[in-house]
Amino acid sequence: MLKQEVPHITACLLICCPDRPGIVAGVSQFLYLLGANILDASQHSTDPREGLFFMRMEFQLEQLDKSALETAFQQQVATPLQMEWKIDYSDRRKRMAIMVSAYDHCLLELLWRWKSGELAVDIPLVISNHASLEKECTALGIPFHYLPVSSGTKELQERVAMRLLEEHRVDFTVLARYMQILSPQFVSHYPQRIINIHHSFLPAFAGARPYLNAYTRGVKLIGATAHYVTNELDEGPIIEQDVARVSHKHTVEDLVMLGRDIERQVLTRAVKAHIDNRVILHGNKTIVF
């Protein structure tokens, strides 16, 4: 009789704690005694004034009681070393909602990456204040919810959106050029769980026509920023950024085309970093492994 293979789970452990000798040894010894195989480990120490230690460790282990693992880790390692930590397991895919307005380039990039298997998430729904992108979503079997927003309906539609996110057990939401400012009540329900793409190096060239403003100023670089959403508009912790060089030869249309390409790439990289548990927040900054 062939021996039945025991399923293995890949887990990712994120740690933040005061820096001191023995942290890596303590975590590694704990996993070794469990029979885990460490696949990847990255770490970072801040300067002596802050004295903090950050670590991401990915490991593989046979099926076991997750609750027992986490309880033992808290008692044996985390409490003695004053750790803030979380662990994520590969046998549960994250559930990602997308909110979008009329611009389609970021949404279509995410859907293409998801369809091709590059984004290992489930997308249970897309929410939009415009109806124009419904076919692109429903063609892939993704439910599309049209929630038009006006000054008189904004609060009601946010409540509807929050109910939908709860009903679909969404882990995090991506604003793929969603051109509405979310209320503090909405944001407070999802701390560190909303990712936005901004069409500049924040806070430069904010507003409705950023590329025209950039063109008028004769900029030599344009860029995009992906960040977590906080109640301070466009001031949340930055996950990813990128730029492209431009010159006086570029028209406004050229800047728009280049800018949208950067937005797609930056947002995709930020979303993938979040999915892969490579981001640790520290105040209003991020450590991205």
Residues belonging to the active site: 234
The DSSP element (H or E) to which 99 belongs, if any, is strand 94-100
d(CA 60, CA 226): 30
Alpha carbon 18 to its chain centroid, in Å, reads: 25
Cα dist. 284→95, 114, 146, 156, 235 in Å? 25, 29, 33, 30, 8
Give every CB contact of residue 42 below 8 A, 6+ residues apart in sequence. 55, 56, 57, 289
d(CA 52, CA 207): 37
**Selection from 244, 245, 226 nearest residue 236 by Cα:** 226
Contact 195, 121 (CB under 8 A): no
Other Cβ atoms closer than 10 A to 184: 11
